[in-house]
Every structure is written in C-alpha cells, then in structure tokens.
A and B are shown apart, each in its own frame.
Chain A
C-alpha cells in the first residue's frame, strides 16, 4: 500500500528526514516511536502534504502511484488521513457542515452522488455513539472550546466517516487522560480491517497497550534505527531512548 524509499525532507533548509525506508502492507499497524525532534511529526506531515516541507530525495509510492504527485486534498480523497496532534479550531463553521463537506468531497472524487442529509445524519450518529460523543457536538463549531479528549475523538470521528485506506495518527495520545485514551483507541480498533493500514506516531508506549501494533520502528535523527515487533515498544518503555540514540550516533 505504502512504500517509502530513502525519503529525505527539509524544513527551511534543515534536513529533518535523512533517508526513511518503510513498507506498509494492507491491514498492518505500524508504530513509529522516537524521542522529541527525531522527525516523527515531520514524517506524517510530509505524507499528508502539508506546505512548508521540501522533499529533497527518495520516493513514496501509494497504491502504485507517486504520492507526491497529489496535492493535500487529493491525497485525502485518495484515502490518506492524518489525525492531527493539535486539531485546529475553526470558529464559525459547525462540525456537521465540516464533516459533510469532507465526506462529499471524497464521494465526488469517487463519482458518487452527494450523501443526503438523512443518510448522513444516520451514519454520523452511529459513529458518534461508538465514540461516546454527545449529540449537540454536531452543532458546535469545529473543535472550538473542545477539551483535549473531545478534539481527539473528533479526529477519530472524521476518520470513521471518511473510511480512509491509510490512517496516520500523529501523537494521538498527547493530552489525553486514560479514559479518553481508551475511547479513542476503541474507535481506532473498530476501524481496523484487512484493507486498512495505520501508522501510529507516538512518543510513549502507553497508546500501544490499546492499539496493538504489528511492527514498531524507532526513529532517531531522521532515520529508522531499529525495527521490531511489539516487544520493542516495551523495551523502549523500560530503557528509554538513550541507548538507541547512542547506537544511532
């Protein structure tokens, strides 16, 4: 599904990603761990098409095509989803409108009719139920005045509505208490399927107790320095990142 080969990227002339290699097959969950400043967030931003990052080398193939040929909104319509570390507040736009616009943008791409209001409401209420979200939430402005947990649940709700192929979760656990973390993780787990792949970027192993990865990769100084199974995350929890960084240096 996603093939990253020797990916290099810079921000304002400073190289952050220094040759990333990663193969992700359908249905797999990959965790990317690493200390602050290792390039974790840069990787998810580069993959989702945010401006301000310059790809200086390597390639990323998504479903057989060059990912970088697509603009950010085209990637989203092609099934790439980024759950933000800091979801953005948009005063003056309510959640319902926002969700509907996103769903219909994707349907337009697929040559489908727009979803009618009843159909949309039925679907969104069902998904909100799974995430234990209150009904009034649809009529509130996007993320405005939301608690940390509400914002992250809103991200997962969008993910559930858009049914992406590739989900990039950028530090989804940051700012969450344990209850919110469980709800969010359950929402993510409900979306796991043989066709859908996940890249879970996180600093802490805690999230991986709930979203159990197939593979764990450790990012340091812009490179993947170690890959393994779930046990690698536990090892990091125990020993910290110091020993990995020493190896990488």
Chain B
C-alpha cells in the first residue's frame, strides 16, 4: 500500500465516525479526492523544496487511543496562566481534562458543534483554508472530525485566554486537529495552541486552524510546538481579516523531527493589521520549516513580521516569508525580518523573503540575515569575567528573547523564556532576566 492509500484509508475510517452532515460530507469527499490526486508533497514542489517528508510516509501512523491523566498535563499548562482549557488526546476532545467557563465567548469541541449545530460553522469551515493548498491540508480536511471551536460574538471580549492543549500519547499515533476561531465584529479573544508529546514516541500531527477576524475584531493566536524530537508535525494556519481587523500570530517551534508550519493571512478589508512573530530553536537532527504568506488584497493595510531562528547541532531550518501585494492594494505598509543564528558549522538554514508587489504606491521592507555569534559581543562579555560558555548562552538567550518579549501573555512568555534557558548551558542565572 502506498502512503497515499494508507492515509486515505485512515481518513475514510475516521470520517465515518464523524458527524454526518451533507455539506460536510461533501467537503470531506472533495478533499479526499484532492488528496488522492495530489498525494503528499515532494521536494519537486517549490513550496516543499527544502523539506522532504519521506520519513512520514515510511511509518504506518494510525488512530491510537491515548490514556492521559491530569498529572500528565500539569507541566504543559503554563504556570500562572488563568485560562479556559480544552485538552485533546491524539486529536480527540477529552472532556474530563478540560475546564471551560466560557465567559464572553463560546467554546466547544468541533465534533459537538458539528453534531448539534453544524450550520454555525458552515460559512467558515473548509472555506478559509483551501483544502487544495497542499496534500496535508487536503488530508486534514478529508478526515475532519474534531478540534476546537471558538466564537466570540459582536463587541464581546473573551474574559480569559483559551488554552488548547494537544497531547500525543503512544507510538505511531496519527492526530488531525481542526480548529476554527471566529471573532465577530469588534470581538476579541486570545487562543494558545500547545502541542506536546507524553514520552519520547514518534507520532504524526497534521493540524489546520482557520481564523476569521471580522471588522474591528482582534485575535491573538499563540502556537507553541514542543513535541518529541521523533515527532512529525505539519500545521497550517489560515486567517481572513476584514476591515480594521487585527491578527497577532506568535509561533514558537521547539520540538519535532520534522516540523512544518504554514502561517497565512489575507488582509481583505482596509485598515486590517497583521503581526506575525516566530521563534524556532533547532538542534540535533531536527528540521523546522516556516512558510508564511501575507496577502495584501486591499489598500491601507499593515503587516509586521519578525521571525528568528537559532540553529545548532546538525539542525536545519527553512524560512520562506511571502508578502503578496495586489494591484489595487495601494498604501500597503509591510515589514518583514528573519534573523538566524548558526551555532554549529553543521547547522543549516535556507531563508527566502519573497515579495510579490503589483503596484508602486507601497512601503515594503524586508531583510534576512544569517550569522554566528558576534565576536565583539563575546569579547565584551568575556572581558567582564563571564566565561565563554555562559557568555554564549547569554547572547543566544538575548537573541531569541527579542521574539519572546513580544508575547503579551506573561505566563506564556515567562514559561517559554524558562524553557529556553533550560536548554542553554551555564544559564541558570538568566532566570533573573525573566520578569
């Protein structure tokens, strides 16, 4: 059986277990047809040129029932974070571990919404993220069953952030979370997607999140991926933003053998603003790939993008940041930066800012750098008595922390800063910099 056949069989089985709704069945069937036609991407595809997903094809990933208790998830809740939470085990919603107060916001599992009230999500689901964008997006849509649904109504603000904890448990587990975040006009909500592995197993996560930001609405989306270094993680985030809608996307990628994130937004209404910040820490033989795409469809929109990578060991990183400015999108204001720190001579990064601009009346800046630790910085620290290992850790922390410092949720920020410090040698004292 080919990998395409294997995965097609998997999603057929899971789709049968999902809600039976005519429009959804059609969406799934069309996606499955797309998947069977496209298969999983190969490096011949320009968007997957640097990321070979062969290892994913070699394993028989399948639905696995996981057993997870409250003690297992405690370390992943971001100490001090006052949030609603939904827990998913191998992709399935776990009611017992979740805590939802839903003040100012509707929070439910997508499976429950599809069973009772599918019409609510029909205008969005499968319509924001194009199932044909890649074999993985098609595969997720073909097997669409469960995930989180978040809906904040007109001029409402969610009282608390929502933590979505995706736990993988057991070897060779295959999970396909599908999340939908809808902010109506003037609504605001913060959502944190956190992907973790219990144990050190190999598993495969293929996630899709769709976000609708209506006029004057604001969505803060955090994505923290720290699955095991044997895991395969593929994820797409696609947002649509209406007039004066604001999206803040914070991506932090720490785990996985192969981790690929597509982070995309369309600025469909004038005055919309997108902020996209990201940090990837790559070590060992990890491979991390970020593809971002900001589409300036209409005039007078703003986008700010700042991605940083630290690459060590034999790690490999890919960053492709696309900004697409449409012909009529005059007065576009866009700034993209990608900086990479190479700590080892065996580490590698491919970075490509990709600007497609179809009018002249725009302000678009971009920059990408690849460098090693600055010798002058190192000498300055050493000349003050700081030993070279501690000096190196200090500079790596400072470099990476410039992204983490942009995260508004303090509990998420400080937890990640401490996680970063714990990865660095002779860095205990850096805790003092975490406030």
Asked if A73 and B380 sit within 8 Å, CB to CB, the answer is no
Q: Is B395 an interface residue (CB 8 A)?
A: yes
CB under 8 Å from chain A, chain B span 364-387: 375-377, 379-387
Q: Is B42 an interface residue (CB 8 A)?
A: no
Asked if A76 and B383 sit within 8 Å, CB to CB, the answer is yes
Q: Is A178 an interface residue (CB 8 A)?
A: no
Known pairs A92-B399, A97-B429 / 9 extra A-B pairs, C-beta < 8 Å: A50-B379, A50-B383, A52-B375, A73-B386, A91-B402, A93-B398, A93-B433, A98-B381, A101-B390
Complex Cα distance, B380 from A101, in Å, reads 13
Q: Is B319 an interface residue (CB 8 A)?
A: no
Q: Is A102 an interface residue (CB 8 A)?
A: yes
CB under 8 Å from chain A, chain B span 276-301: none
Hey, which chain B residues are within 8 Å of A106, CB to CB? Answer: 385
Q: Is B86 an interface residue (CB 8 A)?
A: no
Asked if B379 and A90 sit within 8 Å, CB to CB, the answer is no
Q: Is B307 an interface residue (CB 8 A)?
A: no
- Please name the 9 residue pairs, one residue from A and one from B, whose CB atoms are nearest each other, closest first: A92-B398, A105-B385, A76-B385, A102-B384, A88-B380, A72-B382, A73-B382, A77-B385, A93-B398
Q: Is B254 an interface residue (CB 8 A)?
A: no
Asked if A105 and B433 sit within 8 Å, CB to CB, the answer is no
Most buried by A among B384, B390, B397, B430: B384
Binding site for B on A (CB under 8 A): 48-52, 71-73, 76-77, 81-82, 84, 87-88, 90-94, 97-98, 100-102, 104-106, 109, 158, 162
Q: Is B401 an interface residue (CB 8 A)?
A: yes
Q: Is B408 an interface residue (CB 8 A)?
A: no
Asked if B380 and A84 sit within 8 Å, CB to CB, the answer is yes
Asked if A48 and B383 sit within 8 Å, CB to CB, the answer is yes
Hey, which chain B residues are within 8 Å of A48, CB to CB? Answer: 383
Hey, which chain A residues are within 8 Å of B398, CB to CB? Answer: 90-93
Question: A105 is contacted by which of B384, B397, B399, B432 (Cβ under 8 Å)?
Answer: B384
Hey, which chain B residues are within 8 Å of A49, CB to CB? Answer: 382-383
**Nearest chain A CB to B66 CB, angstrom units:** 39
Hey, which chain A residues are within 8 Å of B390, CB to CB? Answer: 101, 105
Most buried by B among A72, A100, A162: A72
Binding site for A on B (CB under 8 A): 375-377, 379-388, 390-391, 394-395, 397-399, 401-402, 405, 429-430, 432-433
Asked if A98 and B384 sit within 8 Å, CB to CB, the answer is yes
- Dominant secondary structure of chain B at its interface with chain A: helix
In the complex with contacts A90-B395, A91-B402, A72-B432 CB distance below 8 A: no
Hey, which chain B residues are within 8 Å of A84, CB to CB? Answer: 380, 383
Asked if B394 and A73 sit within 8 Å, CB to CB, the answer is no
Asked if B383 and A92 sit within 8 Å, CB to CB, the answer is no
Most buried by A among B381, B395, B432: B381
**Nearest chain A CB to B148 CB, angstrom units:** 33
Hey, which chain B residues are within 8 Å of A101, CB to CB? Answer: 384, 386, 390, 394, 429
Asked if B380 and A90 sit within 8 Å, CB to CB, the answer is yes
**Nearest chain B CB to A199 CB, angstrom units:** 15
Nearest CB in chain A to that of B388: its residue: A73
Complex Cα distance, B397 from A100, in Å, reads 17
Hey, which chain A residues are within 8 Å of B397, CB to CB? Answer: 92-93
A selection of 27 A-B contacts at a CB cut-off of 8 Å is A49-B383, A50-B379, A71-B382, A72-B379, A73-B383, A73-B384, A73-B388, A84-B383, A87-B380, A90-B377, A90-B398, A91-B398, A91-B402, A92-B397, A93-B394, A93-B397, A93-B398, A94-B433, A98-B381, A98-B384, A101-B384, A101-B390, A101-B429, A102-B386, A104-B429, A105-B387, A162-B384
Hey, which chain A residues are within 8 Å of B377, CB to CB? Answer: 88, 90
**Nearest chain B CB to A177 CB, angstrom units:** 24
Asked if B432 and A100 sit within 8 Å, CB to CB, the answer is yes
Hey, which chain A residues are within 8 Å of B405, CB to CB? Answer: 92
